Structure 1
Amino acid sequence: TLDGKGEAGRNTVTWNGQDNSGCKTANGVYLYNLQAFGHSATKKLVVIR
């Protein structure tokens, strides 16, 4: 979970491929949800190691 305030304009989020316990996630398809300024987008992320 990432929560915080960002500046107006283009921003980036980096994920280290680990779960909340610090373990590497398994190969697979994951869903992520971004929310900002009253908008929300859910997308797929594929992890292949």
Structure 2
Amino acid sequence: MTELGRSLIKEGKQENARETAKRAIKKGMSDELIGQLIELPVEQIHTIRIAMR
């Protein structure tokens, strides 16, 4: 696989994680629990939460 292909796959996985975090936030889950479940840094989840307001 090319470097571009790997980069696109990585970006797709990150976008999926962000969308999953948004759904979890809407369901009322804590940043810490979301971070544990989808392996995103709590700081990034907090940033997503603020952007959703």
Shorter-chain TM range is: under 0.3
Query: Which structure dedicates a bigger proportion of its chain to strand?
Result: 1
Structure with more contact order per residue of length (Cα contacts < 8 Å, sep ≥ 6): 2
TM-score (norm. length: structure 2) = 0.24
